[in-house]
């Protein structure tokens, strides 16, 4: 399990792979698997069988697949660039993430 530099609702950009350069919002982070699901990135096709009892209509669905965390970079809200993140403690003892390029704190 790696340290997670990405949180839910972060705006991220994909650095490698077929979705390289795509930006999106993080919907879910899976730290034990080292993956995250990003909105509008890394689509896969899922073939579903119709199930009338659950009101599921069959067919081919497209949905986001998980993407590895090391292929994502957080976009800093201050400088609007993909940046590396660091961690630091404030005077009151709370830990925050910060942008290494402009030194702004991330939520």
- The tens digit of pLDDT for each residue in 36-71 reads 999 999 999 999 999 999 998 999 999 999 999 999
Please state, rounded to an integer, the average pLDDT across all residues of the chain: 93
pTM (two decimals):
0.84
Q: Which residue has the higher pLDDT, 7 or 3?
A: 7
Question: What share of the chain in percent tops pLDDT 90?
Answer: 93
CATH class of the 11-50+61-106 domain in this structure:
mainly beta
Domain range annotation of the chain: 11-50+61-106
Strand 35-38 with 43-48, pairing = unpaired
> How far is it, in rounded angstroms, from Cα 41 to Cα 75?
15
- Tell whether the model's pLDDT for residue 107 goes beyond 90: no
């Amino acid at each position: 399990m790696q340290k997670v530099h990405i949180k839910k609702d972060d705006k991220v950009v994909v650095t490698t792979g077929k979705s390289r350069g795509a930006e999106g919002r993080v919907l879910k982070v899976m730290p034990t698997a080292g993956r995250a699901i990003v909105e509008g990135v890394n689509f896969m096709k899922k073939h579903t069988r119709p199930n009338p009892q659950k009101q599921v209509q069959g067919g081919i669905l497209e949905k986001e697949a998980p993407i590895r965390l090391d292929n994502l970079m957080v976009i800093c809200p201050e400088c609007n660039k993909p940046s590396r993140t660091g961690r630091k403690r404030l005077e009151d003892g709370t830990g925050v993430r910060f942008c290494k390029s402009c030194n702004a704190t991330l939520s």
